[in-house]
Amino acid sequence: MADPRPVPRPDGSGAAARATAARALHQVRDRGQSLTRVLQRLRLPDQAADRALVQEMTYGALRTLPRLEALAGQLLHRPLPKREAELQALILIGLYQLTAMKTPPHAAVAATVEATRQLSRPGKAGLVNALLRRFLRERETLLAAIEHDPRVRWPVPEWLRERLRRDWPDDWERIIAASDTRAPMTLRVNPLRGTRADYLAELAAEGIDAAPAAGCPHGLTLAHARPTERLPGFAEGRVSVQDAGAQLAAELLEATPGMRVLDACTAPGGKSAAILERAGGELALTALDVDGERLQSVAALLDRLGLRATLVEADAARPEGDWAAPGFERILLDVPCSATGVIRRHPDIKWLRRAEDIAALCDQQRAILEAIWPLLAPGGRLLYATCSLLGDENHRQIAAFLERHPEVRECPLPGAPGVARPHGRQLLPTSGGSDGFYYALLEKPAS
Ligand SMILES: C[S@@+](CC[C@H](N)C(=O)[O-])C[C@H]1O[C@@H](n2cnc3c(N)ncnc32)[C@H](O)[C@@H]1O
């Protein structure tokens, strides 16, 4: 199978980037690790361009995994043994470059072949070279053979496809397609440190193309994503990165200065910060999370933005202690969920989530909602939020809650973006638009 033609040796950094991408893909695909965590842990290349390449290859390969696996299946006479899972991941990274990236094919092949050395598999260089060159020779035939494979047409696990089809009979294909696109980079301007109009003008003066984000008074979308270090005033807390759909939470909650507010699932803190900014920082905000490590990022975020809240590490499903005194006028419940609405930003979710996780998440959501509701003041409002697209976590969860608590009033959300559901509203991920969020606003009777 080895191709006898010599392979040009690329410079080492390109090969290192491919090897790192293969390691990361292997950790996600075969070990069930989250891509964000893997990329934080792995030693990434020194050069920014190589780090961006690792990012592009890993995110891209996870988006189109079934296509790459189906191609590798055609190219390999028999599957590689389990102990070669990292090499298999390298082959997938190689195929991703040849199917989806603009890298000249000979350079992509050479750097991927060279990466076998970095993975301590120099004896497999011939195999990788032969496979990738065969793909280039037989590209049209190989791609045509998998075109109608349902896993390739709708690159999500079958259980998720079926659930999306059931919940979104008219939109499921569009949703899956949009979930495979790259999400835009949206910012939220901190109104305590300047206006959106001024920030847009400053960006324009620096040649950074941006436009106001629809439906977000403080939001703007960049034409091209860039590292936060290269955003004016980022370190000084003038802007934060936050999806337009996530920014909507603060608008729907309408917490005004002086209110006592609870964010019961706060980390990493984006919505807490938006709620505080919208009220000029003049809120008594309790920001709670069960995960102490994640709470540290909330502290760092509020610090950067010049905002204050009482941070509490506690389980929202068991309110006890000082923080749990009833009488909150506003509560945000951004509950743990399947995150099926943010697959664009975290394509690993598609492969890490299991069908059986959903029922367990629904139980958790119900427990948190039931436990937190008594803390709401009479006449107060609770915004239930998820970044899920699944009815069980969203409108059916709220329908069941309303059935158990007939005194609760559901507030209409007129003018809010998204699609009306039997209860609440759903933002769908769309090309160039926001992530997939769900919101329902509930009010306690005044007496
Ligand atoms: C969807 S994230 C919240 C995102 C956050 N609101 C933001 O906009 O940045 C859900 C959070 O809920 C937390 N969480 C999960 N179970 C919890 C519980 N029982 N009590 C409190 N927090 C919990 C998780 O640690 C996670 O940080």
**Do the beta carbons of residue 327 and residue 260 sit within 8 Å?**
yes
Least confident of 20-34, 323-337, 411-425: 411-425
Instruction: Give domain status of residue 124, yes or no.
Output: yes
The per-residue pLDDT for 415 is 83
CB neighbour list of residue 42: distance below 8 Å, 6 or more residues apart = 20, 23, 24, 27
Average pLDDT score over residue span 194-199: 97
Is 291 near ligand 1, meaning CB less than 6 Å away? yes
Instruction: Give domain status of residue 7, yes or no.
Output: no
Q: What is the pLDDT of residues 274-297, one digit of tens each?
A: 999 999 999 999 999 999 999 999
**Whether 254 and 399 share a structural domain:** yes
**Whether 317 and 412 share a structural domain:** yes
Q: What angle do CA 378, 384, 390 make, to 5 degrees?
A: 150
Q: Whole-model pTM? A: 0.93
Instruction: Give domain status of residue 208, yes or no.
Output: yes
Average pLDDT score over residue span 79-93: 95
**Whether 115 and 261 share a structural domain:** no
Least confident of 8-22, 49-63, 238-252, 369-383: 8-22
**Whether 367 and 269 share a structural domain:** yes
The per-residue pLDDT for 46 is 81
Domain that holds residue 20: 12-153
Give the 3-state secondary structure of the chain: CCCCCCCCCCCHHHHHHHHHHHHHHHHHHHHCCCHHHHHHHCCCCCCHHHHHHHHHHHHHHHHCHHHHHHHHHHHCCCCCCHHHHHHHHHHHHHHHHHHHCCCCHHHHHHHHHHHHHHCCCHHHHHHHHHHHHHHHHHHHHHHHHHCCCHHHHCCCCHHHHHHHHHHCCCCHHHHHHHHCCCCCEEEEECHHHCCHHHHHHHHHHCCCCEEECCCCCCEEEECCCCCHHHCCCCCCCCEEECCHHHHHHHHHHCCCCCCEEEECCCCCCHHHHHHHHHCCCCCEEEEEECCHHHHHHHHHHHHHHCCCCEEEECCCCCCCCHHHCCCEEEEEEECCCCCHHHCCCCCCHHHHCCHHHHHHHHHHHHHHHHHHHHHEEEEEEEEEEECCCCHHHCHHHHHHHHHHCCCCEEECCCCCCCEECCCCEECCCCCCCCCCCEEEEEECCCC
**Whether 268 and 412 share a structural domain:** yes
Domain count, the chain: 3
Confidence at 303, pLDDT banded by 50, 70, 90: very high
Instruction: Give domain status of residue 167, yes or no.
Output: no
Is 266 near ligand 1, meaning CB less than 6 Å away? yes
The per-residue pLDDT for 5 is 44
Confidence at 215, pLDDT banded by 50, 70, 90: confident
The Cα-based distances of 267 to 11, 160, 272, 302, 318 in angstroms read: 41, 26, 8, 11, 18
The rounded Å distance from CA 320 to ligand 1 centre is: 17
Is 271 near ligand 1, meaning CB less than 6 Å away? yes
**Whether 68 and 209 share a structural domain:** no
**Whether 211 and 267 share a structural domain:** no
Residue 269 has pLDDT above 90, yes or no: yes
Task: Give the CATH number of the domain where residue 192 resides.
Answer: 3.30.70.1170
End-to-end CA distance of the chain: 79
Instruction: Give domain status of residue 180, yes or no.
Output: no
Q: Which two tokens stand for residue 363?
A: 């139980």
The rounded Å distance from CA 267 to ligand 1 centre is: 6
The rounded Å distance from CA 318 to ligand 1 centre is: 14
Instruction: Give domain status of residue 114, yes or no.
Output: yes
Is 368 near ligand 1, meaning CB less than 6 Å away? yes
Q: What is the pLDDT of residues 221-261, one digit of tens each?
A: 999 999 999 999 999 999 999 999 999 999 999 999 999 99
Residue to substitute in 34, 247, 248, 265 for testing ligand 1 pocket (most ligand atoms within 8 angstroms of CB):
265
Query: Looking at 203, 224, 241, which one is the last position of a domain?
Result: 241
Residue 430 has pLDDT above 90, yes or no: no
Least confident of 4-8, 142-146, 226-230: 4-8
Give the span between the Cα atoms of 428 and 343, in whole angstroms: 11
**Whether 276 and 217 share a structural domain:** no
How large is the ipTM? 0.99
The per-residue pLDDT for 11 is 58
Residue with tokens 């390691």: 23
**Do the beta carbons of residue 271 and residue 301 sit within 8 Å?**
no
**Whether 215 and 81 share a structural domain:** no
Give the active site residues: 387
Instruction: Give domain status of residue 367, yes or no.
Output: yes
Confidence at 47, pLDDT banded by 50, 70, 90: confident
Give the span between the Cα atoms of 378 and 166, in whole angstroms: 37
Residue to substitute in 251, 262, 288, 289 for testing ligand 1 pocket (most ligand atoms within 8 angstroms of CB):
289
Instruction: Give domain status of residue 169, yes or no.
Output: no
Least confident of 151-155, 198-202, 372-376, 428-432: 428-432
Query: Looking at 217, 241, 265, which one is the last position of a domain?
Result: 241
The per-residue pLDDT for 3 is 40
Give the span between the Cα atoms of 226 and 218, in whole angstroms: 19
Average pLDDT score over residue span 325-344: 97
Is 315 near ligand 1, meaning CB less than 6 Å away? yes
**Whether 264 and 385 share a structural domain:** yes
Partners of 221 in beta bridges:
186, 211
**Whether 128 and 85 share a structural domain:** yes
Confidence at 12, pLDDT banded by 50, 70, 90: low
Average pLDDT score over residue span 308-331: 98
**Whether 53 and 117 share a structural domain:** yes
Mean pLDDT, rounded, of the chain: 94
